[in-house]
Amino acid sequence: MPVKYEKKIDLLSNVSTWSVPTKPKSEAKALASLIGVNDETPQTIRELISVGEKDRAELGKLVAQVPALRGRVEGALAYRQKVLAEFDRIVATKQSA
C-alpha cells in the first residue's frame, strides 16, 4: 500500500501532470497513460473523453439561447471527437503490440 501512495504523491507533485495538452494527440496520450491507474480502463477513459447525448442536448440549448457560442461549442465537440479517435488509435496500437 505505501508504494501506491508514494506513486500518487509523485504524480501530484509532477508539474507535467498538471499541464494542459493543447493538441488532441497530446491529450489522448496523457489519458492513455492513465489506463490501469485507479482501475481506469480504456472504456472508462472513453467515457471521460466523449460527450454524451444529455450533455449534447444541454449544449444545444445553450447555443439556442446564445447563438454566438455555436462556433466554440462545435469546435469543442470536434476537439473531443479528435481526442477520442486518437485515444482509440493509441489503445489499438498497444493491444496489437
Q: Give the structural domain span for 60.
A: 19-96
Measured CA to CA, the distance from residue 62 to residue 44 in angstroms comes to: 27
Q: What string of DSSP letters covers 16-63? A: GGGPPP-SHHHHHHHHHTTTTGGG--HHHHHHHHS--HHHHHHHHHHH
Number of independent structural domains in the chain: 1
pTM of the model: 0.74
61 within domain boundaries: yes
Please choose, from the candidates 71, 87, 67, 91, the residue with its C-alpha nearest in 3D space to the C-alpha of residue 23. 87
- pLDDT recorded at residue 14: 52
Dist. CA 21–CA 16, nearest whole Å: 10
Residue 87 within a domain: yes
Element (H, E) at 75: helix 70-96
- pLDDT over 70 (residue 7): no
Residue 5 has pLDDT above 50, yes or no: no
Query: Does the residue 5 lie in any domain?
Result: no
> Is 12 part of any domain?
no
% pLDDT > 70, the chain: 77
More confident residue, 12 or 79: 79
